[in-house]
Amino acid sequence: METLQTFRQDTRNWLEQNCPDSMRVTAGRSAPSETGDDQTVWGGKNAVFPSDDARLWLERMGAKGWTCPTWPTEYGGGGLDKEQNFVLQQELARIKAKPALTSFGISMLGPVLLEFGNEEQKQAHLPSIVRGEIRWCQGYSEPGSGSDLASLQTKAVLEGDHYTINGSKVWTSYANHADWIFCLVRTDFDAPKHNGISFILFDMTTTGVTTKPIQLISGASPFCETFFDDVNVPRENLVGPLNDGWTIAKRLLQHERTMISGMGMGGSSKKGANSIPEQAKRYAGESKNKIANAALRDRILRHQMNGQAFAVTLKRSAEEAKLSTGPSATSSMFKYYGTEQNKNRYEVMLDLMGTNSLAWEGDEFKANELSTTREWLRSKANSIEGGTSEVQLNIIAKRVLALPD
């Protein structure tokens, strides 16, 4: 316990000295978004930083390994155990520090490389993820393979020392900004569909890779169509055994779903003027320090209670996970509930904003109204990305509740 207290004090001192003031104003955003005012630092060779302080913050956190606090130090990580990481997260929250780096490398690829990658692959990729030097995208979905992901058709053929890859992916988030891709390819067309898939990594600048951004109704282009025409990828870029990529693919999805489920925490924990109850008082009026409209009050209370219950359940599950090796099919429960809760939060927000929720552009709207409307629209995608809610319910039925097919 003494050691943990010393660690807390050292951490507090380090953050005091190294976290720039302008990085201590958590915007309260629940998840990275494509709403145009995004302050998220994604890293990569062509990284765009919202400020010099954001760049400095990433450099310092990356050098310390605290962008990936629990990864081993030999791969650039912080080498912290779970208790130390918990303290670090508390201290970051205490000073309202903005995340130094958000990336698919951290939340998805890194954990599976640690589990399934060979030593060369870990050395080659993990340190650059920690320091935010390489930005990754996820090549899973295809035009005919979304929920039924295992039916994917992108083909990789071994020819001497390399695979030749042909096919296309869709909804590849930020593929046009990514340096590398982690990709599912079919390497055996005769085997049952789950048994002919492999997991491979390659550079997005390789000849034959092209991306085409998809424009959304919001005007944003957060994802792309991605095409592979005779793309040569060194055979050593295959992760895990040939034709056993489905095991890795599923594990990565569990990490992705765990990350997405955190959205359900957004907002419920917000305190002060930006909390939903305080905003409700401003929009709907207050009576005796309560939200005046009883129906709205009831709805917000219900939402807040669900948020608190979800937070406590997540915490309990994290405690239980200390005893296991990693995420499991239960990540589908949290993904399902967390994304529904997040969507509900924006529905509540829009209801209480009334006609101001029509905000799209113009000086007559406040900045938070403009961003809330865009975030509401974005929240609809939460229960689709990383596998739809219906698919999560199927997984829960089969893998958690063990119900018959």
Ligand X SMILES: Cc1cc2nc3c(=O)[nH]c(=O)nc-3n(C[C@H](O)[C@H](O)[C@H](O)COP(=O)(O)OP(=O)(O)OC[C@H]3O[C@@H](n4cnc5c(N)ncnc54)[C@H](O)[C@@H]3O)c2cc1C
CB-nearest residue to ligand X: 146
Chain residues 134-173 in contact with ligand X, contact rule CB under 6 A: 137-141, 146-147, 169, 171-173
Q: Which of 70, 153, 394, 396: binder of ligand X (CB under 6 A)? A: 394
Q: Based on CB atoms, which residue is closest to ligand X, 223 or 246?
A: 223
Residue position matching structure tokens 């340190």: 127
Helix or strand run (H / E) with residue 232: strand 223-234
8: its two tokens: 């807390």
Of residues 144, 145, 128, the one with CA closest to residue 136:
128
The CB-of-150 to ligand X minimum distance in angstroms stands at: 12
Q: Based on CB atoms, which residue is closest to ligand X, 42 or 75?
A: 42
Residue position matching structure tokens 């029509």: 358
> Binding mask 250-269 vs ligand X (x if CB under 6 A, - otherwise)?
--------------------
From CA 257, how far away is CA 238, in angstroms rounded? 24
The CB-of-375 to ligand X minimum distance in angstroms stands at: 13
From CA 22, how far away is CA 41, in angstroms rounded? 14
> Binding mask 343-382 vs ligand X (x if CB under 6 A, - otherwise)?
--------------------------------------x-
Burial 31-50, CB ≥16 within 10 A → b, else e: bbbbbeebbbbbbbeebeee
- Applying CB under 6 A, does 304 fall inside the site for ligand X? no
Q: Quick one: which segment of 70-78, 308-316, 340-348, 388-396 binds ligand X (CB under 6 A)?
A: 388-396
From CA 7, how far away is CA 84, in angstroms rounded? 7
Q: What share of the chain is helix, strand, coil (3-state, %, to 5)?
A: 50, 15, 35
Q: Based on CB atoms, which residue is closest to ligand X, 269 or 389?
A: 389
Q: Based on CB atoms, which residue is closest to ligand X, 44 or 127?
A: 44
**Are 305 and 350 a contacting pair, CB within 8 Å?**
no
- Applying CB under 6 A, does 248 fall inside the site for ligand X? no
**Are 88 and 69 a contacting pair, CB within 8 Å?**
yes
Q: Based on CB atoms, which residue is closest to ligand X, 267 or 387?
A: 387
How many C-beta atoms surround the C-beta of residue 58 within 10 A? 22
Q: Based on CB atoms, which residue is closest to ligand X, 58 or 170?
A: 170
* Count of residues in contact with ligand X, rule CB under 6 A: 20
- Applying CB under 6 A, does 214 fall inside the site for ligand X? no
Q: Based on CB atoms, which residue is closest to ligand X, 240 or 387?
A: 387
Provide the residue type at 375 as one letter. Answer: E
Residues that bind ligand X (CB under 6 A): 137-141, 146-147, 169, 171-173, 223, 381, 384-385, 387-388, 390-391, 394
